[in-house]
Structure 1
């Protein structure tokens, strides 16, 4: 019996904010990188195409298996997979990455823990554990001890400690599962303690950590399960050591089959992270915000000339060279598999606003452990200075066009927001001269946007609309963010006209394109999920709640069984495409649920 090659994004993330893994519908780990999310994919079966079933995976097979069921333990990222055989035998697999406080600090090792328990009958299982090295270049060499196996993964050797017979694991031999077995794949160092007792304790303490974290969330009344699952997964996308937040846990899941739109999203985009902390902040998850603000302060301090890149490594590193992993055929054989992302050297001027906006809260929020001071404000003004200087300069835009530039309206509105919020912060700090200074700049940018981005349409009752770029006529979905960023009120006739025009041009049934013009790779073939959520928000703010709720329920119905979404969706078949799980899309779930939900007072 062999496990099927992963052919869909029905995947279940586990993680501990240091490492993460994706588990498929058979209970196999098919994606997982060490020693962190942007590291070498030790488990890479997801991107091995038709040859993925026997290498780059870790699975438990049940003899004569007839069914599988999966669920997370409530309010945790601990996955339970139940396998049943034709004779009534059953086993349960508990998958998690340990995370809990120990000795005064958070224990989050580079490790994956798996517990296999017999449930009924006389099940026979075997273990397939085939980690790889060098982005799928080779199987990891093996050495063994009395109760452990060492896998010589490039630069990060791993040790499997287990109370299962080591020979059975090495030989992939079938055997009866008569008691719970415990597997800890972690650092290449002796496992101090009893593996059974310690893993059972880790399971309990990890579950307790996550349940307590969820208990502190200010969730909306409606759609709580969807919001909680999105929030947990967003937290898994933070590399806690530095505070960086990655855009997704994977690389090179294409936006559409054969499109060549295969990108590595395992890095911290300033834009994506802004939206993530904004959404989690709505839920009161200040721990993620605080750690990310520390990451931003380091980014700003390391940019003495004031120039900020669109993305950085989770370590804070600036250089993210893009190359192709020749030994990985790609998801469904639709390569290339890219490592790194050349967008790091693009000019994307919206990033200045996306640094200022989350940072402003640190001046006002008395719940934070570290309240920002006037020195922090002076440092942030350097970012504002760049927002001012670039607000009417061409850039690649938020969609990261690789072969052309324009003065993008979204980037300019973000620059306006940076100056607007700096003025607010200065006023709060009692710096009246700086408040007036930044207010004057915000007003100047607003005048430039209204003059440059408004597109007048001739004809009876046609009016006009804001365009995606200065002097242009084309539309993109980012224009829907003008209300969210407080540039326009929702009742403004200019916004209503733009909303109508955007829907007419970009809406495809229940889905939204980001734009409908050709780019570096031709016409877009799939909808961009966050854009659909932006439409839902805009409809709600414009008073069209019935339509907004209908579209939101439709989007929730497209989630995987794990309750998650990728970046893109086929607007005809609703099949998910793009990297997974996508922080943008999970942000959309949280924001829309918060806006559309009934108040808790309605229930009480």
Structure 2
């Protein structure tokens, strides 16, 4: 089998883990029981050894279509062949955890012959622990058990399956109107699986899951343009939340490349402070205050207090709050289309990124305003964070893009330090919280002057990545978005003009898509190239839209750019981290960063366009 394009996948999940379902009916990525657990199916990262769970017509000449059941995260894959038509419905049931809070992983695949009589083939070839650990397969009355000393999975079915070297294979036929159910279930202590999951029980779980997702999205307050795309982005962000702790993962996958055959392959199955804070903002905009509250509770648990020898917060945590995310390379896997190395863990957790404090405190400020008032004890934590920023904002860091070269005085990092002080002052004034207002105001003013004087390059008439360079940084587009300057400030308009030049002229815009920086001018410590960054294009849309309130031609540019960007979503409305030169998805998938930026830009563009 050949690798599927990244954009050929849809995602299902139960807020503990997710699976990627390809248009050809193959589940090529699944970690059990949690997002960052070892994989069971990883054909996405090694077509030969990674493991997959595929159900499809036996005929080779098949057309595929895929869509989400309306208002849900239940995916339907449609097979169209000369024998007839069939539908494969995939979902993970959303039910309360069992007594004692134990989560039970279940994946249900219901196959129905809609027209004609169709011959099918099933391949279920688990590869435990990133294809490192062997397992045994054993027939039981209700199917097959795959197990080793760490994990046991039951593939429940009433079809006859043949055990092979890699897993099981089954051939069967369905006539028009017939259905069959396959369920992959994690065995837990004391569990017994003596019976096949019936169509009736599968239907009950299907209706329960559909009802859950529809009730959840019904809480959304958004009624503007592009509602379907905003809803899909919200549903995707919800899938990327970890129910037990409230953590939010940056993406569902690891090591999907930013360049085919390149080395820029990272593990994004962790909870970044930055990404999560932006996600909280997106949830708040749409009216989902519970998700924001849960993430704030997660932060309260992982917060360790001020330490003299390290910053008070890491830039990321495990979904369970763990702090050691050591990076390891899996040399036995070839990587997506030969893109090595495959990495698990992420050494960026050791980096200093000053911007996270601004993003976090801005989210807390908005939560206090639109969600629930923060407590005095929570304010004390916020105050300690801001006090740390006042003492360290002048240091160099690795910045928002996590460069693996040398540190710099990144202007975006200074900008978000300013945001930390600004939102802290607003919060203190609004709630009459005690703090050293005079000191905070002084530092806030110092940062403002630093950015305006040292972050501005008069030669190219633009804000730049760091003082003394002419390299642009798409993150500076956040300046008007965080209310640092007016959206029509001449320096912002100059920055917009600069970044919208093509890369060969020093700019960042190519084919209506934006790079995060120009690799010819920014040494990020890594070999190879990368594609345009989806979140940056949405930032550009929002910056243009805000300026467009006063300059209609910029609003028209924002509107057109947004519509073009929607065209780069895949067939079910999902985005990866980046978009390649031919419109292909690159980087980890789906990417929370992209979807939260879509929500924010849609919200603000719709508001500016009016009725």
TM-score by length of 2: 0.91
- The corresponding residue for 1:389 is 391
Native 8 Å contact 2:262 2:340 kept in 1:
no
Output the CA distance in 2 between the equivalents of 1:545 and 1:435: 38
Q: What's the counterpart of residue 475 of structure 1? A: 472
User: Matches of 2:288 and 2:57 in 1, distance apart?
Assistant: 40
State the alpha-carbon separation in 2 of the partners of residues 398 and 599 from structure 1: 28
| Counterparts of 1:192 and 1:311, CA distance in 2 | 42
Q: Which residue of 1 aligns with 2:186?
A: 187
Q: Cα distance, 1:455 vs. partner?
A: 2.3
CA distance in 2, matches of 1:103, 1:313: 23
Q: Residues 138 and 405 (structure 1 numbering): CA distance in 2 closer, same or farther, change over 3 Å?
A: same
Conserved? CA contact 2:25–2:54, under 8 Å = yes
SS of the aligned residue for 1:590 comes to helix
CA drift at 1:75: 0.7
* CA distance in 1 between partners of 2:476 and 2:567 (Å): 26
1:596 aligns with 2:605: yes
**What residue in structure 1 maps to residue 551 of structure 2?**
none
Extract unaligned runs of 5+ from structure 1: none
Partner of 2:65: 69
- In the alignment, structure 1 residue 236 sits paired with structure 2 residue 234: no
- How has the CA–CA distance of structure 1 residues 390 and 310 changed in structure 2, closer, same or farther, with 3 Å as cutoff? same
* 1:106 CA drift (Å): 9.2
Distance in 2 of aligned mates of 1:380 and 1:485: 19
Q: Which residue of 1 aligns with 2:377?
A: 375
| Alignment CA distance shift 1:436-1:104 (3 Å) | farther
The aligned counterpart of 1:85 is 81
Query: 1:35-434 counterparts in 2 under 5 A?
Result: 35-49=33-47, 51=48, 56-64=51-59, 66-88=62-84, 90-101=85-96, 109-138=104-133, 140-152=135-147, 155-165=150-160, 172-178=169-175, 179-188=178-187, 189-191=191-193, 195-196=197-198, 197-301=200-304, 306-365=311-370, 367-368=371-372, 371-431=373-433, 434=436
Question: Which aligned pairs between 1:441-452 and structure 2 lie closer than 5 A?
Answer: 441-452=443-454
Shift of 1:444: 2.5
Contact 1:100 1:107 in 2 (8 A): no
Aligned twin of 1:497: 494
Could you tell me how far 1:230 is from its partner in structure 2?
0.9
- Pairs within 5 Å for 1:452-467: 452-457=454-459, 464-467=461-464
Deviation at 1:575, TM superposition (A): 1.8
Match of 1:486 among 474, 483, 487: 483
1:24 maps to 22
Report the equivalent of 1:565. 575
CA distance in 1, matches of 2:207, 2:31: 25
Check whether the contact 1:263–1:341 (CA below 8 A) recurs between aligned residues: yes
Residue 553 (structure 1) shift: 1.0
- 1:276 and 1:109 mapped to 2: Cα distance? 27
Q: CA offset at residue 190 of structure 1?
A: 1.9
Q: Please state whether the residue corresponding to 2:313 is helix, strand or coil.
A: coil
Given that 1:221 and 1:599 are in contact with CA atoms closer than 8 Å, whether structure 2 keeps it comes out as no
* Aligned mates of 2:608, 2:395 — CA distance in 1: 43
Q: How far apart, CA to CA, are the structure 1 residues paired with 2:3 and 2:149?
A: 25
1:586 corresponds, among 582, 587, 595, to 595
Aligned twin of 2:504: none
Distance 2:195 2:169 in 1: 26
Indicate conservation of the 8 Å contact 1:126/1:168, yes or no.
no
Aligned-pair distance for 1:452?
2.7
- In 1, the alpha carbon distance for the partners of 2:73 and 2:210 equals 8
Instruction: Indicate if the aligned counterparts of 1:353 and 1:387 stay in contact, CA closer than 8 A.
Output: no
CA distance in 2, matches of 1:114, 1:201: 13
Are 1:130 and 1:139, in contact at CA under 8 Å, matched by a contact in 2?
Answer: no
1:576 corresponding residue in structure 2:
585
CA distance in 2, matches of 1:600, 1:522: 42
Unaligned stretches of 5+ residues in structure 2? 502-506, 549-553
1:526 CA displacement = 1.4
- Give the superposition deviation at 1:541: 1.1
Q: Cα deviations across residues 220-270 of structure 1 (Å, max 9, x unaligned)? A: 421111111111111111111111111111111111122211111111111
Residue 465 of structure 1 and its aligned partner are, at CA, apart by 2.8
Secondary structure at 1:37 match in 2: coil
CA contact 2:142–2:193 (8 Å) conserved in 1: no
Q: CA deviation at 1:278?
A: 1.2
Structure 1 range deviating more: 193-202 or 317-326: 193-202
Native 8 Å contact 1:566 1:576 kept in 2: yes
Q: Deviations over 1:539-564 (max 9, x none)?
A: 11111111111111111111111211
Shift of 1:183: 2.0
Measure how far apart 1:277 and its partner are.
Answer: 1.6
Given that residues 134 and 154 in structure 1 are in contact (C-alpha distance below 8 angstroms), is that contact kept between their aligned partners in structure 2? no
2:213 and 2:181 map into 1 onto residues whose CA distance is: 21
Q: Distance in 2 between matches of 1:423 and 1:561?
A: 45
RMSD value over aligned CA atoms? 2.4
CA positional deviation for 1:580: 0.6
Alpha carbons of structure 1 residues 120 and 509: separation in structure 2 relative to 1, 3 Å: closer
Following the alignment from structure 1 to structure 2, what is the Cα–Cα distance between the partners of residues 241 and 594?
30
TM-score norm. by structure 1 comes to 0.92
Give the direction of change, closer, same or farther, for the CA distance of 1:321–1:103 in structure 2 (3 Å limit): closer
Asked whether the equivalents of residues 455 and 463 of structure 2 are also in contact (C-alpha less than 8 Å), the reply is yes
For residues 538 and 106 of structure 1, the distance between their equivalents in structure 2, rounded to whole angstroms, comes to 45
Distance 1:386 1:156, change over 3 A: farther
Q: What count of residue pairs does the alignment treat as equivalent?
A: 587
Instruction: Give the 3-state SS of the residue equivalent to 1:77 in structure 2.
Output: coil
Q: Cα offset for 1:537?
A: 0.9
Q: How much has 1:117 moved relative to structure 2?
A: 1.8
In structure 2, C-alpha distance between the alignment counterparts of 1:69 and 1:11, rounded to whole Å: 11
